[in-house]
């Protein structure tokens, strides 16, 4: 799933919302890196909607630089902890930051009927920064404390990608964060190398 954000496209194929947040880091996809992707509040608002943390159409007028700073801090903490889990080491103060942010209550949700009478998800109150941070932080806590999920963490093997994803493939042999993106890049590069070798 991809949500357009003007000059940047978000991808939500990591398998967990916390990993999708980590994937917004400039170095997560080096082929498309162009500064800090979450630098502007509008980009963060698009990411929050694309990630499913707020229902589509939710007004996010309160998103500002303070929101951005909070999500960047959370992203850095999760990235450190995930990196530590992959490398089998401790991550230092990142755990305390994650736990502090996870303590807050996540956003309240309710079912409402849309204009067609279909039940859809809505937030109980206007989106609050701390509640949305708590939702992502709790997802990271769930991931990092679940031995089965943690054992499925992988780094993309694509040459120009540093994304981390959850390998839920049948044989646990998935090599790329996305077969359509990094897998295609690798296949094209392999084809070019073979073509160059035969010419």
pLDDT one digit per residue (tens) for the chain, 199 residues:
334 434 356 889 899 999 999 999 986 554 455 689 999 999 999 999 999 999 988 999 899 999 999 999 999 999 999 999 999 898 889 999 999 999 999 999 999 999 999 999 999 999 999 999 999 999 999 999 999 999 999 999 887 788 999 998 887 777 778 766 686 666 666 656 666 777 6
Q: In which residue are the tokens 């990142």 written?
A: 94
pLDDT of residue 7: 38
- Alpha-helical (H) ranges within the chain are 17-22, 41-50, 65-87, 94-102, 129-145, 147-151, 184-198
185, 158 Cβ separation under 8 angstroms = yes
Residue 24 sits at the vertex; the CA angle it makes with 49 and 121, to the nearest 5 degrees, is 15
For residue 58 the two structure tokens come to 């939710």
């Amino acid at each position: 799933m991809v949500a357009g954000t003007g000059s940047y496209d978000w991808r939500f194929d990591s398998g967990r919302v916390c990993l999708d947040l980590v994937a917004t880091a400039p170095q997560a996809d080096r082929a498309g890196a162009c500064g800090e992707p979450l630098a502007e509040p509008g980009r963060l608002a698009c990411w929050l909607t694309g990630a499913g943390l707020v229902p589509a159409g939710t007004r996010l007028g309160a998103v500002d630089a303070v929101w951005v700073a909070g999500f960047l801090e959370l992203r850095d903490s999760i990235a450190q902890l995930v990196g530590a889990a992959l490398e089998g080491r401790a991550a230092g103060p990142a755990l305390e930051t994650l736990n502090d942010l996870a303590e807050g209550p996540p956003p309240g949700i309710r079912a409402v009927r849309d204009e067609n009478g279909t039940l859809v998800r809505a937030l109980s109150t206007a989106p609050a920064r701390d509640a949305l941070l708590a939702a992502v932080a709790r997802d990271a806590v769930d991931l990092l404390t679940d031995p089965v999920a943690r054992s499925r963490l992988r780094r993309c093997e694509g040459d120009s990608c540093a994304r981390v994803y959850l390998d839920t493939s049948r044989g646990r042999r998935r090599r790329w964060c996305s077969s359509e993106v990094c897998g295609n890049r690798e296949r094209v590069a392999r084809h070019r190398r073979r073509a160059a070798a035969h010419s």
